[in-house]
Amino acid sequence: MRRALTALFLAGILATAGVVAVHVANPDWYVRWRYPLEYTGIIVQYSQKNALDPALVAAVIFQESGFEPASESAAGAVGLMQLMPGTAAWIAGNTGGADFTVADLGDPEVNIAYGCWYLGYLLDRYDGSEALALAAYNGGTENVDDWVKVARGEGRGFSTVDDIPYKETRDFVRDVSKGKEAYARVYSRELGY
């Protein structure tokens, strides 16, 4: 029994030493594990095309689908960037995608291309406010427009995450912002910084 406990204790020490060695050799290993990155070339291509920060796009994809292209929400949003079919059809109409079908949203390139175009559109619509654009991406433009209108009617601004009345949307904006910082820091080379 004593030998077994000693062996278990030594195994624990060795495992801890291994984790410490990995952390010292690559301190960002945990962040890379926590925030995986796939489809880098497509993300960079469509981020550049739409004047977006690729770390922001990666963070949206991670938050929306965890980089799972077949992801579908209970509300019906589809693919990596979780686009609603109606929104995607509207995007297709504005970008020349005349032959668009909902099945196209399962294609990572189409989904990222449309999601980046839409995110760029939202940033333009909300004068570059990332918080408002992300809130609209998650909660809809109608809701954000209403929130901004109410805030202005009360004589105050609306530009911080704390101003978002829906907890789910507020959490989405915070999580994407946190993810964007992580992606920019640990994947700077891959994302073209």
Q: Which residues are part of the catalytic machinery?
A: 64
- C-alpha to C-alpha distance for 36 and 34, rounded to whole angstroms: 6
